[in-house]
Structure 1
Amino acid sequence: MEVVVQAAWDNLQLNASIQLPATAQFIGLSGPSGAGKSTLLRCLAGLTGSAKVTGQWENSRIARVRTGLVFQDSLLFPHLSVGQNLLLAADFAKQQTYHFDEVVLGCKCNHLMTRMPNTLSGGEAQRVAIARAILNSPQILLLDEPVSALDDTLKHDVLKYLTKLARSGLKMLMVSHDLRELALYSEYMAWMEQGSIVHQGASNDVLAQLTPSMPNFEQQFSVLKGALKAHLPEQACYAIECEGHTLYARHPVVSKEQAMLTIDARDVSIDRQEANASSIVNAMPCVIESVSESRGGQVMINLMCGRSRLFALISQLSQERLQFREGEAVTARFKLR
């Protein structure tokens, strides 16, 4: 994939170049507010006549492909029911690529079909807007913060469905401020600042580049990967084998018997007790790789368990009391989420 977008306005100079493997199917785009992310999507969708858009994604010239765009606002036709909005999109498709009922179920809209747009919550309207864009059978789907109004369960359900569509061939570029979402669901990422792409590549690589420059410790998180051991429906969670230890998670991303989850640094505690000495079910023996200087009364502990990295955010008071040091063996714990 190689796409260049150039445009100029009084408040923004857009000169964005995305160069990623042609096989990339699900690309995440993030960056600070005002960086030009939404404007970039509008240019790619052909909604900004003054922009120059060149390049191609795999075998498709970007300026000539059928593109779907999901705005932050749903923009549903207010005089049509949800079902009518979706049927209209399917009717406008040149050819029906996706089965209507499957899209409705995948976007969790099956119970909304008779509702009018003015009766929908923000999250419900977002799900309908995503379904409508898919039913229009685009070759490329552009998504601007598409799940920002959804609760965690629905958010993961919809993103898992989008990932399934991407693996089946639908190319996607999704804007999100939530790096955890992009770490779990996008194969590749791009980071945008002041109208330009400043980092891009495999999601793990981009996140590693961004971590040192994150403005505050509370934004830091870890990505853990392992083999899926079991689905435990009675406990509403999954068991995952990671670095020889069993971890439990509510919403891991599962693909081909492999699972992935994110852990916020502020959700990790560390101690010198044995791994099974707490009611917190997730525990990993780790070695402290580094201890940061205090920032705003908080200290970041960088931990390694085998080849997996964890961050633990603790208070300066805790560090002064416990005196954790580089090279020390500890147990990292985090709750089932």
Structure 2
Amino acid sequence: MPENFVIIIPQYNDWEALNLLITKINTDLNPSVLKNASILVVDDCSAKDRTEPFVPFGGKAIQVLRLYRNLGHQKAIAIGLSYVAENINCDKVVVMDADGEDAPSDINKLVARSLEVPGKIIFAQRNKRTENFLFRFFYVIYKSVFKLLTGKVITFGNFSIIPQNRLQNLVRVSEIWNNYPGGIIKSRIPYDSVLTDRATRLAGESKMNFVSLVLHGLSAISVLVDTTAVRILIFSMFMSGLAFAFIGIILFLKLIGNATPGWASTLGSTLIILMLQSFLISLFLVFMVLQYRSQQHFIPAIHYRDFVEKVDTIN
């Protein structure tokens, strides 16, 4: 029996690119997948109304889920997943961007890999990016900082395919509200990846800039903040050990009379102050994380309805 697919596409003011993307989906998607696929557009409360009708879709139907307010890309994905999990009977869900940088032809790779490893979420791992050098440079820094603070490696974004049984698990992971791939890493839901090249934007200008990249990186790290806090505390303790060693050296130099007058006391007191500050800040962060873990969290599967204004079926 053929599998049914839902393609979730969050968008904000990207109607032109979205229409071009649907055209590419019609031409690039495997026909056996296309005829059993539906599209769910999550309109993140766009400031611009759709002026042109959607191009004819070769699959089953297009639905537009409009939100009451602009929540951002990650939350729009979480709401779309939650809506599908509760209201649409399907076998697999594809998440992709509306701008065309996620190539529809790569959905075929995701589907093929999903058949090889059923029960896993499959991500599109970027083999080649098309952004400018500065963006790629800071993206490498982001991945390095993410690994340093969390101990995890992140080489993928939102473009992915989710089997139905994992979808029901995923929409009950509160962390996807802040960061979809980070939430999956945190939840320990099994996942895999396939290599893909990032395509170019179909229309309009990219909304991802340096500030957006920093915010995206911080949201991903915040999902794993408990691990991050502990690693920062361990690093702080290590630096405190080094500070104690330097203080010991300073005292030794002071005792043998090789220290400049006033130098030993000034440097020693400075090291002690910095050591105490870093340790107390790290300890405070750990206690904040422990308090956060004891609180009731936002569950997308339960709370997503508060943000859904309406759902329109186009065809």
Do the two structures share a fold, i.e. TM-score over 0.5?
no
**Bigger relative CO (Cα 8 Å, ≥ 6 apart):** 2
Larger of the two Rg values belongs to structure: 2
Structure richer in helix, relative to its length? 2
Structure number with the higher strand fraction is: 1
